[in-house]
Amino acid sequence: MNRSIETLVPGQNYYIAFVDLWGMDAKPDYYLIPKNLFAKWIADRHKQWLATPGWKARVHKDNPIRAFDKPDFEVFEKYHNNWDLSLR
């Protein structure tokens, strides 16, 4: 993703969908996350990354890339395989 993922949108009807496709015979896992919630979260993660020293204590340089790992999604567990948007 790039830094545009951090852009907030008006209203509450925008979601980001992340899907894990496990194969032809397996049911996929998915997350339906409110866009603005994810935008704030990923912006905070990027700020934390910038503030954390990198390899050999080097300072991270800002760049447009925004990244995360699936284990980081623990914070979004209530959105995991939850299609009921009324709970949001």
23-80 pLDDT per residue, tens: 889 999 999 999 999 999 999 999 999 999 999 999 999 999 998 888 888 899 999 9
In angstroms, the CA 35 to CA 78 distance is 15
pLDDT at position 55 is 92
Rounded to whole angstroms, how far apart are CA atoms 78 and 57? 36
From CA 48, how far away is CA 53, in angstroms rounded? Answer: 10
What pTM did the predictor assign?
0.85
pLDDT of residue 73: 85
Closest CA to 16 of 65, 85, 69: 85
Q: Is the pLDDT of residue 88 over 80?
A: no
Contact indicator for 31, 73 with CB cutoff of 8 Å: yes
The pLDDT of residue 86: 60
